[in-house]
Amino acid sequence: MRKAAGRVRITAQLIDALTGTHLWADRFDGLLEDVFELQDQVSSSVAGVIEPALQPLKPPARPAGRHRSDRLRPLQRAYAIGMSSQLRNPEALRLVEQAITRDPRYGPALAWGASCCFRLLENGRSEDREVDRGKGIGFARRALEVAGDDPGILANAALALAYFGEDIGTMMALVDRALALNPNYACGWHISGALRSWAGQPDIAIKHLEAALRLSPRARVGTTLAVIGQAHLLSRRFDEAVPKLLLAIQDDPTFPFPHRVLAACYAHMDRLDDAREIMERLRAITPVAIPDTSYLRNPEHRELYLSGLRLAAGEAT
């Protein structure tokens, strides 16, 4: 910490004590007279920024004779691959399953495996939807059995189970518990926002998603912006949805979800040429242009989304 002319600068750095690897660094500036407020800002920001990086590093149970890095390496690679591109989810799932094979009660791997299965179905890249759905449900339920007070396991398992049709009120309660355990859990706020949107509460969803962006401003923003875009669509704020969705597509052009929502928005705005252009781009990255929307519990929201997609696809509504 350094002080000069009534101002203070706090520099923070995170190092893996075992390996010496540099994981994260940042600085925070403020007025010396507001030092306690600045301290709270630093605490919240540090927790929000580093949590996504640390989640895949959580150690599993320790079977005899097996080195910790051997158990962690497949999950670390799966997390990095899954976050890099939606196209690589099948590869990420294979690596997660290696981690689960090595430790069948490793909660973070089970929860991330459930998330991979959910994304395969959502993105239209599952080779067998029923098999992947069953696998995802199994992973998520096993994750909850060993979750304890781990916010990451609770939230990721709840997201997958909500998508697969479990009671969404119960799943939101699980995420609320995760956030009570760690109010600075950026991914938890993202998941809470997604579930609120699915439950028919788009305005609450946007508040929770914006909290995720504030807590982790350096994380990839595409998925969060895409869910914000869908929440605006469900509230018929098409003009507000479009810029969020364009940014989401720019962040990951292989992600089908923002393409679908953008096409539906353009269709409802009577921008049919734009809607059809987006549908062409969507078909280049997934064979499923019009997805299963049963995760949206509000029937009016489902029909609004589907009717926009059908118009964009040139189908009769």
Q: What is the pLDDT of residues 70-116, one digit of tens each?
A: 556 667 677 666 665 667 778 888 888 888 888 899 898 999 999 99
DSSP 87-147: GGHHHHHHHHHHHHHH-TT-HHHHHHHHHHHHHHHHTT--S-HHHHHHHHHHHHHHHHHH-
Are the C-beta atoms of residues 9 and 1 closer than 8 Å to each other? yes
Helix axes of 186-198 and 222-234: crossing angle, nearest 10 degrees? 30
What distance lies between CA 263 and its chain's CA centroid? 21
The alpha carbon dihedral of 110, 114, 119, 124 has a sign of positive
DSSP code of 55? G
Q: What percent of the chain has pLDDT over 70?
A: 84
Q: How much is the pLDDT for 162?
A: 97
Q: What is the pLDDT of residue 63?
A: 46
With beta carbons less than 8 A apart as the criterion, state whether 96 and 116 touch: yes
Question: Where in the sequence of the chain do the CATH 1.25.40.10 domains occur?
Answer: 66-183, 216-317
**How much is the average pLDDT of 56-60?**
50
What value does the mean pLDDT take over residues 192-213? 96
pLDDT above 80 for 41:
no
Residue 295, pLDDT > 90, answer: yes
Phi-psi group of 284: left, alpha or beta (phi > 0 → left; psi -120 to 50 → alpha; rest → beta) = alpha
Alpha helical stretches, state H, the chain: 35-54, 68-84, 89-102, 107-122, 129-146, 151-163, 168-181, 186-198, 202-215, 222-234, 238-251, 256-268, 272-285, 299-312
Closest-CA residue to 72 (of 104, 102, 49, 51)? 102
| pLDDT for position 256 | 94
d(C-alpha 134, C-alpha 66), whole Å: 30
Which CATH superfamily hosts domain 216-317? Tetratricopeptide repeat domain (1.25.40.10)
Mean confidence (pLDDT) of the chain? 86
What average pLDDT does the segment 2-12 reach?
82
What topology is assigned to 66-183 in CATH? Answer: 1.25.40
| Per-residue pLDDT, 98 | 87
C-alpha to C-alpha distance for 271 and 192, rounded to whole angstroms: 32
